[in-house]
Amino acid sequence: MEVLRVAADSKPKSVAGALAAVIREKGSAELQAVGAGAVNQAIKAIAITRGYVAPNGINLITIPAFAEISIENEERTAIKFIVEPR
């Protein structure tokens, strides 16, 4: 599954475009976000993506979960969003 990392300064429309492309190509994707700002941008991107893929008859669902990731050799807890068609 393709993993897209979202930061607090990520532009939601840019993330949404990338997410829509991955979903159309591979069928599902995972967004990873660390911190409140990044989670906020990820949720906005998912909402925008739904608008991008809806005209193609794709209805998205999102499954949130925790993930342990390594950033600069330090373990961090991220929120991951698995996004796939219903």
Domain CATH for 78: 3.30.110.20
What burial class does residue 72 get, using C-beta atoms within 10 Å of its C-beta: 0-12 exposed, 13-18 middle, 19+ buried? Answer: exposed
Total-model pTM = 0.91
Q: How many domains does the chain have?
A: 1
Q: Of 10, 76, 1, nearest to 41 (Cα)? A: 10
3-state helix, strand, coil in the chain (%, to 5): 40, 40, 20
Q: What is the pLDDT of residues 18-68, one digit of tens each?
A: 999 999 999 999 999 999 999 999 999 999 999 999 998 999 999 999 999
Q: What is the pLDDT of residues 4-32, one digit of tens each?
A: 999 999 999 999 999 999 999 999 999 99
Residues 80, 64 contacting (CB under 8 angstroms): yes
Q: Which domain holds residue 57?
A: 2-85
CA 77 – CA 45 distance, rounded (Å): 20
